[in-house]
Chain A
Amino acid sequence: MRNGYIVHFRFIIRMKLALIMTTCAVMNVSANVFSQQKVSLDVQKTKLSKVLKMIEEQSDYYFVYNSTNENLNKEVSVNVNNTKVLDVLTKLFNKSGLIYSVSKEGLVVVSQQQQVAVAGVVTDDKGSPLAGASVRVKGTAVGRATDINGRFIIDAATGNTLIISFAGYTSQEVAVTKDGDLKIVLLEDNRMLNEVVVTALGVKKEKRSLGYSVTQVAGESLTTARENNVMNSLAGKVAGLDISSTSGGAGAASNVTIRGVSSLNQTNQPLYVINGIPMESKPVGIGNANSKGNSGSQWDNAPDLGDAISNINPDDIESISVLKGAAASALYGSRAKAGVILITTKSGKGNSIDFNSNLVAEQIIDNTNWQTVYGQGANGEKPTTQAGAAQVGGSSWGAKLDGTPVVQFDGASRPYSLQKGNLDRFYRTGSTWTNTLALNKSFDGGSIRLSGTDVNNRSVVPNSGLKRQSFNLVGLFEPLKGLTIDARYNMILEQVKNRPMVSDGAGNANYNVMFLPTSINVNDLKPWKDSNGKEILYNSGNVYATNPWFAANEFINNTNRDRSIASVTAKYTMDNGLFVQGRAGRDAYTDHYKNVVPSGTGYYENGKIAEQETKFADINADVLVGKSFTLGDYTLTPNLGASYRNTKIRQTTNLGTDFAIFGVYNILNAKNKSVAYLESESETQSTYGTLEFAYKDVAYLTGSLRSDWFSTLATPGVDNKLNSVYPAISGSFIFSEYLKPSWLSFGKLRAGFAQVGQATDPYQTLLTYNFRSEVLNGQPLGVINNVNIPNSSLKASTATELEIGTELRLFNDRVNLDLTWYDKKSKDEISFITTPSASGYAGAVLNAGKMQNRGFEALISATVVKTEDFKWVSSLNGSYNDNKVISLAEGMDEQTVATSRSGVGYLMNKVGMPAFQIMAFDYKYDSNGEIVKLADGSPDRGELKSYGSAMNKWFAGWNNEFNYKRFNFSFLIDGKWGGKLFSGTDYYGYIFGLHQETVADRESLGRTASTYYTNTANNVSKIFVNSADFIKLRQVVMGYSFPSNLFNNKIKSITVSAVARNLWTISKKTNNIDPESSYNATFPGLELGGVPAVRTYGVNLSVKF
């Protein structure tokens, strides 16, 4: 009935409107006086038409309407005092079913609102359609996504506004006027304040609707000044994200921690989700018996074999979304405890060919500050014989440097003088050349993107480097209306030559060049082998002190990875908005690792070999069904989903020792061979549901529930609970819709509360036995298989997190502020506690312990200067995290996490203190408070004490971008404060007599100086605890974009940039090392024998055809 009524009036109103519009156009008088006119009204339940009359009386406005329109008879109440007419009108016509337009002359045409189907196409500024852009009616949650060709159809009413947004682009608002095609062009937004962000399960959402903090970074910011491991380029750019590279050289893993460490012993690395498919990123390989990587102890002397995320090609990344808190990541349930990083890769856009070339040089930074007074030798004396010199070849406990000739390890006589600069002599200038070619093709019903990238790295470490070739094919198709198919295939081939050893000295070039005695020139250690191919030892007193040239040139630590990541997503959206989405992905790689201790090696003359093949396959599949329901101003969107994950690993290691033919490195050449084999499988099944509730553009509330079932908790014969449930709720309120002072353009409050968790590795629940690879005269050797004491009642650990935040845009969007406070508590921590070996095991898997992280994050960005030609945007992000271990397993108030190679520095968790405490020995004090000394005067050992957490508390990044015409310049300064670092380098500096502090009493101590300082180092190891505070000039980029008309428009764009990273350490408190040194990603705060920090500089060329 009502519909007919509307149709009836529509005709009349259209006629009138056309007439009036024409009139206005003809008069074309410009008069703005009306807009300033104000009225005062105080009416209760009065007809709208009457109120309009009252306004006409008080002002010069004049209203035109069809008096038969029933909506004008609606009763309204309004109370305004000296308010602009235009503001009064907004209130009056809100929800009236009417729309109005105001001419400059004060003529207000009131007409019946109409329902229209608006169609349109969304493209970027180059005309390429944007698939998946969001089109929403402002003030409601009614929205649609554009199809593969950027097209959309949405029901709206005339007078409504459409908001069109797309991740990485500035949103646009368009008024709905009539039926017809809209053409909307979105402009790229390179600031990190995108209106639309990718959220859990790959769902794109407007940021205003989120009850939690999400930071999205555009892919461009990762490719100009790049790092081999893409995650390292995020350092300092995102509040709450703590990223540090590790000292493993080319292809090494990166340490990424979101909002503090989330687990006591399990991985603290976030879950990566690439185009909706989760990807585990953890280290694997020989020597990493520790599933968490190299912990730096003597038995972990192995190269860093990298992580899975480092394989991802930055050129293929469209955007990275960092889901920091539990509320954001709750839909990933048991995989979300450490946060989630969503990576969306590029898909075909328009028709173009993109080419990018990046060439950088790399140089090490020599942080050493060793003593320069005493030379190589022992007992305060120079060597007098070749054998004597070689026997103490690594020691700087000799006599005062005097420049006189002295015999060295090789029998040659050289001046006894300072040889500073060995690091610079040993490490070379490295380089990385990256070339990417991407082809984009759009056609009716789909698009394709094909890209190929070649990375060629020559490491600073001699004879080492990384090569990577990646190919990425992305197809988007819409075979039927409403059905989109997104298919991706990414092939990665990576070859790393000689990943350098870290930590201990055996086979480790870094260690040996670092501790070379003051009077030895590293170039004199060449040649590194004799005519028989045997290592020339510079330190025969310790054959594990491998000649650094021999370590670099003869040892083999090569890895080859052949990886493919494939995914298919099909989504069918019905006309009524109901969608069904299915997604399946497989990430599979085969790793080959060849490790050779060469023939002639000092510590293993006959040589040995290991050939390890690891096959990893991770299958993820999920389905999602959802639909939005609108009830007036309310919108309700339920979604239901389920997912399945299965991970299989198979690893075969062929081990061989004692080569039959000297210097031939294949497994068949080994006289003694043995084999190791492992197989592992785990499965997780999940169901989840979400319910989103929206009230206009003002308030949003989302609840979700997920349940995960874990195979890794199953124990034969024990009926334990296999699942965990993860609830979440979050809400957002745009208060600026109600309270809008002139200086505030946007204001939002948000809050979220959620639970997430972490499962565990397979086979931790039972005690099992196995055989060693070797047999003793035919008798198999049986051993207990478990490293850790198993636990048959394991359950998944959980963390609950509350976060509250606000987003403000001030002064016409010139200043943006985003603040978050969070409180995260975890319990049932799965702890791999280190047990004394007397227990029979190296550790135990326990399921107890609580931890808390509290902190805040702030991002303030401001457009400081903005003129037509010049723009300066400055943004500062800062975060603070306060971590506390609330409890550990029952009856334990401390647990050891890792031990420094020195044996006198530890990483421990202690109740009541932040996790990862650096532990070292204090002086021993007698009852009078005096330091107790040993017979030789060196200090006795006191208590093992904690000297602060290895985790930093404060982080900040300050980024500045300047644009002047076609030039741009940017720099990033970042810093971290509050963390501690146990320096294994300083420790050995003492042991070998290199440390500055070993100079003081040498003369008076005479022959016993080395014993004295060695005792001091071993007994009072607290002197090696350093503050890890630093401020660094992290990145500088200077670029120029050529005008395209320069090339007859044949080239769409050319940008050339000069780039530099890690240019300058502005401040640090460590003495001989970089404050960010670490063995690996999982055990912070310990360091030794890594590749020195590297600075890079070079050029980037980006061309689009």
Chain B
Amino acid sequence: MKRYIKPVFISLIAASLFLESSCTKDFEKINTDPVAYGKENWDPNYTLSSAQLFYTGSFDFAYDTWRGNLIYSSTMMQGLSTVVSYWAGDKYMLNESYTAAYWGTGTVGAYIEQVRNIVDVVEFTKDKPKYANLYNVARIWKALIFARLTDLYGDVPYSEAGLGFYTKVYKPKYDKQQDIYNDLLKELETATAALKDDGDKVTGDVIYKGDIAKWRKFGNSLLLRTAMRLVKVDEAKAKEYVQKVAGKTMDSNADNAFILHDESGSRVTQNRNSQVLLGDGGQENYYVKWSKTFIDYLKSNNDPRLQKVAVTKLYLSEKDKDQNSGFVTDPTKQKGMPNGKDLGSNAQYNISSDPSYTTFADYSSPNPNMIKRTGATFILTYGESELLLAEASQRWGIGGSAGDHYKKGVKASITYLNQYDGSLAISDADAETYLAANPFNAADALKQINTQYWAHTITMMDFYETWSNWRRSGYPALTPVNYPGNATSGTIPRRFPYPSTEAAINGENYRAASAAVPGGDKLSGRVWWDK
């Protein structure tokens, strides 16, 4: 028997060795994806372009913008108002998948679209002199991304986030917001300082086209905004950082950071807010209006922005998405829609029972030139920067005169609208007329500055920022709605709860973070700086 077994196995082993040595040589080549790029032939500038674009919202039909920016932030801040039944934010109802949308999933949202790409750019370019500027621009962008994430949720994965490939940490821990802010401030300071005018050209930059001087001002203005967020919890630190950037922030609206969109790439490249407000996914075009609070504010101050941002009779029928070219810009005809209304049968809430109601077309919509598919998404403006400086100066007497900064800020936030579209241009003279009629009042400065900030960020349609600054400053004083079934006992929400999916996929870290939220892990809980 043995005499047969031996030769069988010897020949098997011999055949195996033969195979291994001869035929598996090209296995590495076979296992290299022919339609992809490796570290050796990739240019990380292209990844930066994606990280910048996705900050304006998800590739998939404005997934996060629709839910986080519009459904929740815009209506809670009474910039917009709607009767669409699923716009839960208008009534402070909880729709967990909507509040979780900004954080996102494995497919859409901030972590998988923004963090994933920007962290990779930072890791890719670290210690590579030929990408020094790209590295620092990416660090600034990364700080911008995480600032918004932590402002919305509080403690979030930061130090271990996006590094799955590099560190093999599969379940990143949640960092304390305080630690995140400390690191953001440090990162912004060092990255901005390290930018070199004669360094590498950041070819992937879709905002400033690699203009390093502008990036330096952007970095400093962002540092200013980040520092000012801390006024309620660490005024000393806020002041310390503001002092560092005084005089180095944005100089004019020409420094404004915005991304111009592109119609050709469909949902992936078109303006996020516009896709939703043009009714691509529903009847938002017909049923989403400027809030009564916002329009009343513009009206009461005779604001020149009113005739530019608001129009009536834009959509004449709920069935039709064709815009009426004869829309009305006459400021006297503008009328905001009250928040907290519906189409139901109870007169207390039904919009048609409201004294202001005539027809939907009579309520003001955003000007169609603000919501072009190719239009701009504003990221950070000179107007914001100056208003923040005004507040810093008012609080601590640093960095020049509060009144000066206020004037510059208000003027910039009136005149920048032409960056949406030439037709929205407001002359310097009109802005100055407005300022003359509404002069800086040191006694009421914080309210005045932050109410201007509120109005400016609403016109920017960066409602996330509107909400954060409102929570930080408390201005303007908004009257909450109280709709049956709301999740906050009729108070304006102050935070997005963590996504419930985290319980399943990052259970231990989630449970610890969720338990630590002051006021509970719900809409009425608070982030650390919002004490």
- What residues of chain A have their CB less than 8 Å away from a CB belonging to chain B? 297, 299, 377-379, 381-385, 387-388, 391-392, 530, 534, 540-544, 602-605, 608, 629, 631, 634, 636, 638, 640, 642, 657-658, 672, 674, 677-683, 685, 687-689, 691, 693, 705, 707, 709-716, 722-723, 762-763, 765-777, 779-787, 789-790, 833-844, 889, 892, 894, 896, 899, 903-904, 906, 908, 919, 921, 935-936, 941, 944, 1007-1008, 1010-1011, 1018
Known: A682-B31, A714-B27. 4 other contacts (CB 8 A): A672-B265, A711-B24, A768-B33, A782-B46
Contact, CB under 8 Å: A657 / B267: yes
A838–B265 CA distance with the chains assembled, in angstroms: 27
Contact, CB under 8 Å: A709 / B19: yes
Chain B proximity of A614: nearest CB distance (Å): 14
Q: B264-291: contact bitstring with A at CB < 8 Å (1 yes, 0 no)? A: 1111110000000001111100000000
Known: A385-B343, A842-B106. A767 touches B111 (CB 8 A): no
Checking B1, B105, B344, B500 against A378 with a beta-carbon cut-off of 8 angstroms, the contacting residue is: B344
Contact, CB under 8 Å: A762 / B31: yes
- Chain A residues whose CB sits within 8 angstroms of the CB of B84 once the complex forms: 391, 541
For residue B237, CB closer than 8 A to chain A, the reply is no
Contact, CB under 8 Å: B15 / A837: no
For residue B120, CB closer than 8 A to chain A, the reply is yes
For residue B11, CB closer than 8 A to chain A, the reply is yes
For residue B515, CB closer than 8 A to chain A, the reply is no
Known: A381-B344, A381-B346, A715-B31. A776 touches B170 (CB 8 A): no
Number of A-B contacts (CB under 8 A): 339
- Chain B residues whose CB sits within 8 angstroms of the CB of A540 once the complex forms: 282-283, 318
- Chain B residues whose CB sits within 8 angstroms of the CB of A919 once the complex forms: 504
Chain A proximity of B107: nearest CB distance (Å): 5
Residue of chain A at shortest CB distance from B53: A776
- Chain A residues whose CB sits within 8 angstroms of the CB of B297 once the complex forms: none
Checking B34, B47, B106, B266 against A672 with a beta-carbon cut-off of 8 angstroms, the contacting residue is: B266
A687–B11 CA distance with the chains assembled, in angstroms: 10
Residue of chain B at shortest CB distance from A905: B504
25 CB-based A-B contacts, threshold 8 Å: A382-B345, A387-B318, A541-B86, A634-B1, A672-B263, A680-B33, A715-B28, A767-B165, A768-B37, A768-B38, A772-B268, A782-B45, A837-B109, A838-B156, A841-B112, A841-B116, A841-B164, A842-B106, A844-B170, A889-B170, A896-B504, A904-B500, A944-B503, A944-B504, A1007-B485
Checking B59, B97, B115, B346 against A840 with a beta-carbon cut-off of 8 angstroms, the contacting residue is: B115
For residue B505, CB closer than 8 A to chain A, the reply is yes
Of the listed stretches B2-10, B69-77, B303-311, B427-435, name the one at the interface; the rest are far from the partner chain: B2-10
Contact, CB under 8 Å: B4 / A691: yes
A707–B11 CA distance with the chains assembled, in angstroms: 13
- Chain A residues whose CB sits within 8 angstroms of the CB of B156 once the complex forms: 838
Known: A636-B1, A780-B49, A903-B96. A834 touches B106 (CB 8 A): yes
Within 8 A of A (CB), among B217-270: 259-269
Contact, CB under 8 Å: B162 / A840: yes
A889–B100 CA distance with the chains assembled, in angstroms: 28
Residue of chain A at shortest CB distance from B267: A657
Contact, CB under 8 Å: A781 / B46: yes
Checking B42, B111, B489 against A782 with a beta-carbon cut-off of 8 angstroms, the contacting residue is: B42
For residue B12, CB closer than 8 A to chain A, the reply is yes
Known: A672-B263, A836-B171. A779 touches B49 (CB 8 A): yes
- Chain A residues whose CB sits within 8 angstroms of the CB of B93 once the complex forms: 1011
Contact, CB under 8 Å: A709 / B46: no
Chain B proximity of A185: nearest CB distance (Å): 37
Checking B12, B46, B345 against A640 with a beta-carbon cut-off of 8 angstroms, the contacting residue is: B12
Checking B96, B170, B345 against A383 with a beta-carbon cut-off of 8 angstroms, the contacting residue is: B345
For residue B198, CB closer than 8 A to chain A, the reply is no
For residue B39, CB closer than 8 A to chain A, the reply is yes
Contact, CB under 8 Å: B104 / A837: yes
Interface size on B, residues (CB 8 A): 111
Checking A629, A836, A941 against B502 with a beta-carbon cut-off of 8 angstroms, the contacting residue is: A836
Residue of chain A at shortest CB distance from B509: A836
Contact, CB under 8 Å: A762 / B30: yes
**Smallest CB-CB A-B distances: 8 pairs:** A782-B46, A842-B106, A774-B265, A1011-B485, A839-B164, A838-B157, A840-B162, A768-B36
Checking A779, A904, A944 against B507 with a beta-carbon cut-off of 8 angstroms, the contacting residue is: A944
A871–B346 CA distance with the chains assembled, in angstroms: 72
- Chain B residues whose CB sits within 8 angstroms of the CB of A776 once the complex forms: 49, 53, 206, 259, 261-262, 265, 269
Known: A542-B86, A944-B503. A838 touches B20 (CB 8 A): no
A772–B264 CA distance with the chains assembled, in angstroms: 13
A762–B36 CA distance with the chains assembled, in angstroms: 13
Known: A672-B265, A672-B266. A770 touches B36 (CB 8 A): yes
- Chain B residues whose CB sits within 8 angstroms of the CB of A534 once the complex forms: 319
Contact, CB under 8 Å: B120 / A840: yes
Checking A392, A604, A838, A899 against B506 with a beta-carbon cut-off of 8 angstroms, the contacting residue is: A838
Within 8 A of A (CB), among B452-509: 484-485, 489, 500-507
- Chain B residues whose CB sits within 8 angstroms of the CB of A681 once the complex forms: 30, 34
Contact, CB under 8 Å: B31 / A1008: no
Known: A722-B27, A767-B165. A391 touches B83 (CB 8 A): yes
Contact, CB under 8 Å: A837 / B163: no
A604–B281 CA distance with the chains assembled, in angstroms: 6
Within 8 A of A (CB), among B74-92: 83-86
For residue B43, CB closer than 8 A to chain A, the reply is yes
Chain B proximity of A475: nearest CB distance (Å): 31
Contact, CB under 8 Å: A711 / B30: yes
- Chain B residues whose CB sits within 8 angstroms of the CB of A631 once the complex forms: 1
- Chain B residues whose CB sits within 8 angstroms of the CB of A384 once the complex forms: 345
For residue B117, CB closer than 8 A to chain A, the reply is yes
Contact, CB under 8 Å: B507 / A903: no
A894–B109 CA distance with the chains assembled, in angstroms: 24
Contact, CB under 8 Å: A840 / B161: yes
- Chain A residues whose CB sits within 8 angstroms of the CB of B436 once the complex forms: none
A125–B106 CA distance with the chains assembled, in angstroms: 62
- Chain A residues whose CB sits within 8 angstroms of the CB of B33 once the complex forms: 679-680, 762-763, 766, 768, 785
Counting chain A CB atoms within 10 Å of each CB, the highest count among B36, B107, B120 belongs to: B36
Contact, CB under 8 Å: A775 / B37: no
Contact, CB under 8 Å: B107 / A299: yes
Residue of chain A at shortest CB distance from B32: A716
Chain B proximity of A889: nearest CB distance (Å): 8
Residue of chain B at shortest CB distance from A774: B265
Contact, CB under 8 Å: B97 / A903: yes
Checking B11, B85, B111, B352 against A689 with a beta-carbon cut-off of 8 angstroms, the contacting residue is: B11
- Chain B residues whose CB sits within 8 angstroms of the CB of A903 once the complex forms: 96-97, 100, 500-501
Known: A763-B36, A783-B117, A1011-B93. A711 touches B8 (CB 8 A): no
- Chain A residues whose CB sits within 8 angstroms of the CB of B484 once the complex forms: 379, 1007-1008, 1011
For residue B23, CB closer than 8 A to chain A, the reply is yes
Chain A proximity of B417: nearest CB distance (Å): 21
Checking A602, A672, A682, A1018 against B264 with a beta-carbon cut-off of 8 angstroms, the contacting residue is: A672
- Chain A residues whose CB sits within 8 angstroms of the CB of B332 once the complex forms: none
Checking B38, B115, B164, B280 against A604 with a beta-carbon cut-off of 8 angstroms, the contacting residue is: B280
Residue of chain B at shortest CB distance from A638: B8
Residue of chain B at shortest CB distance from A835: B170
Residue of chain A at shortest CB distance from B11: A640
- Chain A residues whose CB sits within 8 angstroms of the CB of B171 once the complex forms: 835-836, 839, 892
Contact, CB under 8 Å: A839 / B169: yes
A450–B453 CA distance with the chains assembled, in angstroms: 80
Contact, CB under 8 Å: A387 / B47: no
A299–B35 CA distance with the chains assembled, in angstroms: 24
Contact, CB under 8 Å: A789 / B165: yes
Contact, CB under 8 Å: B28 / A840: no
Residue of chain B at shortest CB distance from A604: B280
Chain A proximity of B427: nearest CB distance (Å): 29
A824–B165 CA distance with the chains assembled, in angstroms: 33
Chain B proximity of A739: nearest CB distance (Å): 26
For residue B321, CB closer than 8 A to chain A, the reply is yes
For residue B383, CB closer than 8 A to chain A, the reply is no
Within 8 A of A (CB), among B172-221: 172, 204, 206
